[in-house]
Structure 1
Amino acid sequence: MTRLLDAIRGHAERRPGAIAIDGATPMTWATLARVLPLLAEDLATRFGDGRPVAIQLDQGVGESVLDLALLEAGIATIPLPPFFTPAQTNHALDAAGAEMLFSGPAILSLDAEPSLEMRENHSGRPDRSLPEGTARITFTSGSTGDPKGICLSRDHLFGVAQAVVGTLGMHHAGRHLPILPPGILLETVAGLHATMLAGGTYVALPQSAVGMADPFRPDVMAILGTIDREAITSLILVPEYLAGLVAAMRATGIRLPRLTLVAVGGARIDPLLLNAAADLGLPVRQGYGLTECASVVALDDGDPASRGSVGRSIGANTLQLADDGEILIDGPLFLGTVGAPRAPGPLATGDLGRIDDAGRLWIEGRKSALIVISHGRNISPEWVEGRLTRQPAILQAMVRGDGRATLDALLVPSAPGADVAAAVAAANHALPAYARIADWQVVPPFTPATGLLTGNGRLRRAAIDTAYPAQEISMDHASSEQPFFNRLVAETREAQARFAMTPQLVAGMTGRITRADYIAYLTEAFHHVRHTVPLMEEARARLAHRPILVAALDEYIEEETGHEFWILEDIEAAGGDSLAASRAPSPATRAMVEYAYDTVRNGKPAAFFGMVYVLEGTSIAMASHGAGAVQAALGLPDDAFHYLTSHGALDQEHMVFFEKLMNRIDDADDQRAIVAMANAMFGLFGALFAGIELEATCVTA
């Protein structure tokens, strides 16, 4: 029997009818104490051969009990966050030699013979060598595309959870709401395990019910409402979620007096955000930890004098600094990685910090990210990024410039029309001359799906550098020596990034729309897609003297003919009326189509290929990410997604063809016309989405 089960049985004896795990089917301590060992025994019988099992589940009562039962059974688990790409998931399953992948929902039966039912997919991966005692294999996003498997023991996990309880005290054991995505180690150890040890209530609601359907674009108003409605007393957040919560509280006037603890970690927190949270009465305590240390290492004690620090060690580990300021951690550490035991000695974290006279740790940046400009100044990029993201117009920022005379930045706007230039100017005004941004570019959001963000919201700097080489950062047009397709991408990147922030598009890409919303989108798609072939035919007629472009248009016309009828079939399959859908387009859709005709008829007909670039690139993204999310959320049949899924597959082939075609266009006027058309179409297509009035509450920008 583990110390966790021992604690659960103790709570059951003292308060048998109190709720241990709240949610769709609330579970009392008495019930949990009864069913947990039975479920653990069943799992040990079925999966007790030493092979790990993977879990990719939403939050819920059944899902929480499964986590506890697997630990009690001594079965190594591989929790996989929902934002892992298929490639990352497959890599994790293969690297760890997973026997099984559990996916949701987890249906819990509380009969005399309790059971858990969920989707079980045999992995078929070969067995791998794991360090002895491995209970959990956590795959971090890492600095490359392949996640790295960190192996942790059961005693280590429970030891950190117990240290969290010892540091905070039992009085914080109220109602804890998991906000972080499922599979995140910090929430499991400091949230679920610590709550079970302390005797609180774990409020395990599905992510969509909380406002976290897309963890990288949270619905902060929904989160605020859930915290208030569910009488939540404790939370674990990352800085971005805290910023959203503060903004929502300011906008609504809602206060959360029942909260006794808001633990925040995962990245550096702007001091102004900490002050703003304190002004609203939020009991924020900043923490510090690493996966290799089973999450929490240090936690602020809540004293206003320590605000901005991550506090002292919670007692599980010791902290010291190397000569260059790097934080070194000793004590209980990870067992190693899959196939590789850990070398003895302290863990060099790569983080820079200082320890004050009171023994509190202050984080000052990343050793590897430190920028040394050619003037000899050392600059922490997090400092400058914090100044930038403090501006309402900037959602995300990455600053770089090592070895160069000035800094540049890649910036994600908070909304399509955000005034990024004014925001950069305001941030620069608050910075010393050597740390100001000299050049910048607007880019699409950094997310784990694109490989540019870790699961806990940290920038994957090396990957971002590769995606956006420094020589392409200039706000001037790209060099004419580049292949034209590369220039087209570079010169339309800002328009594409602003288009990507359209709230209705974000809602659709993350599945947070209703059936009526989806039908409304298909209706507008019908009205512009039915003009695709006529537009191509007009462009072809005006380009008759250009055999390369005529041949390309002939191929496109053959491929695109009849696609509007796919959309009408999708509308019917989704429960809509295809006859009603064909009557009249929205003003925004009409404006987009009319602009395209006017450009082809009265301008440069080759400009039409700028529209091709926008529509095909967007359909690839929607097919790869949006279609599956919408289908899963609405439960619609495959027949309702013929246009999106088929069009996406076709357009992936088309884009390869398109790149080669663009690189054969050498007329400078045609090139300028194609770029101008693409930039205009991103704006017009964004207006089409923005004109759809969603029934469901969509993402806040």
Structure 2
Amino acid sequence: MRDFGNARAAAPATASGPVMSGGLVDSVFDRANQDPGLPAIARRLGPAGTAWTRMTAGELRDEVVALAKGLIASGIRPGNRVAVMARTRYEWTLFSCALWAIGAEVVPIYPTSSHEQVEWILKDAGCVAVVVEDEPGIMTVGSVCASLPRLRHVWQLDAGALEALVQKGRPVPATTVDSLRRIVLPDSTAVVAYTSGTTGRPRGCALSHRNLASPCDTLLEGWGHTGAPPGEQPAVLAFLPFSHVYGLMIQGLCLRGGLLMGHEPDLNADALASSFQTFRPTYLYAVPFVFEKLYKNFLRAAQQAGRGALFERAVRTAQDYALALERQRMGAGHGPGIDLRLQHALYGKAVYRKLRAALGGRVCGAASGGSPLNRELALFYAGIGIPVHDGYGLTETGGGITAQPVGREKTGTVGRPLPGVEVRVADDGEILVRGPSVFQGYVNDDPGTHMALRDGWLATGDLGHLDPEGYLSITGRKKEIIVTSGGKSVAPAALEERLRAHPLIHQAVVVGDNRPCVGALITLDPEFVAHWRGGLFAQDEVPGREAREENALRQEITRAVAAANATVSRLESIRVFRVLPEPFDVASGLLTPSMKLRRDEVTRRYAVEIDAMYQSSSRVPRERRTEELPTWDDSDDVFRRVR
């Protein structure tokens, strides 16, 4: 067993961060007292593309107090649980702060959750109230209210609930809020965050104020100076869902660190592009899916402008430059040579500056979480001037527990343990964690809590390894390991990551439990497929065009599968695959709010396609099977499905 703990950050950081005596919202009140004019929130009051208005720390504190008074007048008491079922918007932040100010507990729910999921979470947590965003939210909660006797209030944001609560609370003295806030202790429960449910029913993780504050304070102290150029206030655009602990950590970083925070509720490409241009963040928090999508958008735009070859050369130069710098940092090289520096400088003006401009022109760094970031992609972003600090955490740890040490970043890993955190890898490869952010336990599940917490160590369920310098690499989940009928164990994550690196491939799910070989379900990126089709043949080549396009696509996907297979042994390689008609998404229940695959649901939903995929393979004569070419079912007409 390899054990690394209390790893030093390259920038100064303490093992425990600032001494905490109260709750999370105290930082809002302290900031307002110390610097009431500091911009705290940026709000866009009109549609996408309109200007942002700034709310000061003093104004935010006053709005928190006004809403907290309304909650008190409505009968919300310390220890009550209130669910928030809305997208990432200002009111989410306001409600969470107001609830914490009176000692209540927040239960995040993703707004597109199914009736069954909403019913389960509200009942299991014992919520007395729920905040919804719109009419669909009201309908979802209304359909399950009969089974929720403890639920007393349903507040709809878009129907004026916030204003009504503020009005209702006017008679309540502000001193009442202050008195309740002062009795909140660091170890009081702040959030009951439900796991994403990738392999079963979600479980409620009780997280204290200290659990949530600890990683935020440590990151702010050791890494905070990387969030903006010297002398500028860091600005963060929050667009990841606050229903996930990563989103909550981003909110906590902004509130506790005095960062300017803007909210973007829409995750579609146009909305994000508009917000990047108008809000102009200095630091980007995202998941690998977002970084992958941004890269593919850059590539598609370059190809449409007739500069695809230039872009690909610039990408290789950026990666080579970043890799040379990394080797220099780690004492394994002398840094970029003069030729590489000249090439990098040339592409800096012709390409990299334009890529950074697409993100608002001020982004000087980024963080990736939720799942490991592809090493080549991380090198690309570092090479264009946006170093991405890959980290690791989970719901049960209140957010991050590892991060890339500043000045000693090692791509392909998720960094080293944060100061105050201990990480071990058990003999079976499972990652064990101990530290101040580890949760209090699962709500209403003592047996599950005892299984997860062993002598103070959290058994994460993730597999990984620590290198001699203490850098952690994630290799998969214990529950996701595939065992073929031949007894070969396969971790799917690396294969899926490699497949997603191809511009045409949007998502991939590796399957093969109790099957003769490993297979894959693949979805395509509709936008990139349309772009790829447009440039494949001359427009006047009409006869037989569709058949040739289909054949060319088969070859491209087969090459992508072969490239992924080159990274693993033959017994671990993908032998059959099927292209599915549409991407997985959150609304269909096949992705979690943090964009992770719900594997059990995917394999259940596509059981017929999986069976057909293996049956088609078994019909191929043995002499026709090759080591290089996995089977493509002839019934797959992908273009008809993605048009």
Q: Shift in Å at residue 401 of structure 1? A: 2.1
Q: What's 2:207 paired with?
A: 152
Hey, what's the Cα distance between the residues in 1 that align with 2:508 and 2:392? 22
CA contact (8 A) 2:189 2:206 kept: yes
CA offset digits 1:462-495 (Å, max 9, x no partner): 222222334332473999xxxxxxxxxxx99956
Q: Which amino acid aligns with 1:306?
A: K
CA offset digits 1:375-413 (Å, max 9, x no partner): 665432111112222222211111122454421111112
Counterpart pick for 1:392 among 497, 503, 521: 503
Q: Shift in Å at residue 56 of structure 1? A: 1.1
Counterpart pick for 2:60 among 7, 26, 32: 32
Does 2:337 align with 1:261?
no
Does 2:220 align with 1:200?
no
CA offset digits 1:330-388 (Å, max 9, x no partner): 12322222212432421111211111222211112222323344666543211111222
Distance 1:462 1:339, change over 3 A: same
Does 2:286 align with 1:237?
yes
Distance 1:102 1:222, change over 3 A: closer
Hey, what's the Cα distance between the residues in 1 that align with 2:90 and 2:511? 44
Hey, what's the Cα distance between the residues in 2 that align with 1:174 and 1:115? 34
TM-score, normalised by the number of residues in structure 2: 0.66
Q: Which amino acid aligns with 2:512?
A: G
Q: What's 1:461 paired with?
A: 599
Distance 1:465 1:364, change over 3 A: same
Q: What's 1:120 paired with?
A: none
Counterpart pick for 1:71 among 90, 96, 100: 100
Q: Report SS of the residue matched to 2:507.
A: strand
Q: Report SS of the residue matched to 1:244.
A: helix
Hey, what's the Cα distance between the residues in 2 that align with 1:437 and 1:47? 55
Does 2:383 align with 1:279?
yes
Does 2:616 align with 1:476?
yes
Distance 1:474 1:335, change over 3 A: same
Counterpart pick for 1:88 among 110, 114, 117: 117
Q: What's 2:84 paired with?
A: 55
CA offset digits 1:587-627 (Å, max 9, x no partner): xxxxxxxxxxxxxxxxxxxxxxxxxxxxxxxxxxxxxxxxx
Q: What's 1:11 paired with?
A: 31
Does 2:360 align with 1:227?
no
Q: How does 1:278-297 map to 2 (within 5 A)?
A: 278-297=382-401
Hey, what's the Cα distance between the residues in 1 that align with 2:583 and 2:42? 34
TM-score, normalised by the number of residues in structure 1: 0.61
Q: How does 1:44-443 map to 2 (within 5 A)?
A: 44-45=72-73, 46-48=75-77, 50-104=79-133, 105=157, 133-144=188-199, 146-170=201-225, 172=227, 174-189=234-249, 191-205=250-264, 207-208=265-266, 212=267, 218-219=268-269, 221-250=270-299, 251=301, 253-256=354-357, 257-303=361-407, 305-332=409-436, 333-341=438-446, 342-343=449-450, 344-345=453-454, 346-373=457-484, 378-415=489-526, 421-430=554-563, 431-432=565-566, 433-443=570-580
Q: Report SS of the residue matched to 2:439.
A: coil
Deviates further, 430-439 or 53-62: 430-439
Q: Report SS of the residue matched to 2:479.
A: coil
Q: Which amino acid aligns with 1:394?
A: I
Distance 1:16 1:352, change over 3 A: same
Hey, what's the Cα distance between the residues in 1 that align with 2:36 and 2:189? 32
What do you get for the CA RMSD once the two structures are aligned? Answer: 3.2
Hey, what's the Cα distance between the residues in 2 that align with 1:141 and 1:493? 34
Q: What's 2:150 paired with?
A: none
CA contact (8 A) 1:2 1:72 kept: no
Structure having the higher helix fraction is 1
CA contact (8 A) 1:159 1:316 kept: no
CA contact (8 A) 2:83 2:106 kept: yes
Q: How does 1:497-512 map to 2 (within 5 A)?
A: 501-502=642-643
Q: Report SS of the residue matched to 1:203.
A: strand
Hey, what's the Cα distance between the residues in 2 that align with 1:426 and 1:272? 18
Q: Report SS of the residue matched to 2:238.
A: coil
CA contact (8 A) 2:24 2:100 kept: no
Q: Which amino acid aligns with 1:267?
A: S
Q: Which amino acid aligns with 1:71?
A: W
Q: Shift in Å at residue 233 of structure 1? A: 1.0
Q: How does 1:450-599 map to 2 (within 5 A)?
A: 450-469=588-607, 470-474=610-614, 476=616, 494=636, 501-502=642-643
Q: Shift in Å at residue 37 of structure 1? A: 3.5
CA contact (8 A) 1:54 1:93 kept: yes
Q: Shift in Å at residue 452 of structure 1? A: 2.3
Hey, what's the Cα distance between the residues in 2 that align with 1:234 and 1:301? 17
CA contact (8 A) 1:85 1:448 kept: no
User: Which runs of 5 or more residues in structure 2 are unaligned?
Assistant: 1-20, 46-52, 134-156, 171-186, 228-232, 303-353, 534-549, 620-632
Deviates further, 135-144 or 88-97: 135-144
Hey, what's the Cα distance between the residues in 2 that align with 1:499 and 1:138? 41
Q: Shift in Å at residue 242 of structure 1? A: 0.8
Q: Shift in Å at residue 22 of structure 1? A: 0.9
CA contact (8 A) 1:160 1:316 kept: no
Q: Shift in Å at residue 112 of structure 1? A: 10
Deviates further, 56-65 or 101-110: 101-110
Q: Which amino acid aligns with 1:254?
A: L
Identity rate of aligned residues, in percent? 28
Distance 1:111 1:307, change over 3 A: same
Distance 1:457 1:494, change over 3 A: farther
Q: Which amino acid aligns with 1:300?
A: Q
Hey, what's the Cα distance between the residues in 1 that align with 2:596 and 2:263? 25
Hey, what's the Cα distance between the residues in 2 that align with 1:326 and 1:309? 16
CA offset digits 1:113-139 (Å, max 9, x no partner): 7979xxxxxxxxxxxxxxx94321112
Q: Which amino acid aligns with 2:372?
A: R
Q: Shift in Å at residue 267 of structure 1? A: 1.5
Distance 1:141 1:169, change over 3 A: closer
Distance 1:378 1:427, change over 3 A: farther
Q: What's 2:71 paired with?
A: 43
CA contact (8 A) 1:268 1:382 kept: no
Hey, what's the Cα distance between the residues in 2 that align with 1:267 and 1:382? 9
Q: Report SS of the residue matched to 2:367.
A: strand
Hey, what's the Cα distance between the residues in 2 that align with 1:285 and 1:366? 22
Q: Shift in Å at residue 264 of structure 1? A: 0.6
Q: Shift in Å at residue 266 of structure 1? A: 0.9
CA contact (8 A) 1:39 1:114 kept: no
Hey, what's the Cα distance between the residues in 1 that align with 2:557 and 2:298? 26
Q: Shift in Å at residue 76 of structure 1? A: 1.2
Hey, what's the Cα distance between the residues in 2 that align with 1:71 and 1:391? 44
Q: Report SS of the residue matched to 1:412.
A: strand
Higher RCO (C-alpha 8 Å, min separation 6): 2
Hey, what's the Cα distance between the residues in 1 that align with 2:165 and 2:440? 38
Hey, what's the Cα distance between the residues in 2 that align with 1:374 and 1:101? 47
Hey, what's the Cα distance between the residues in 1 that align with 2:256 and 2:218? 10
Hey, what's the Cα distance between the residues in 2 that align with 1:70 and 1:498? 50
Q: Which amino acid aligns with 1:244?
A: K
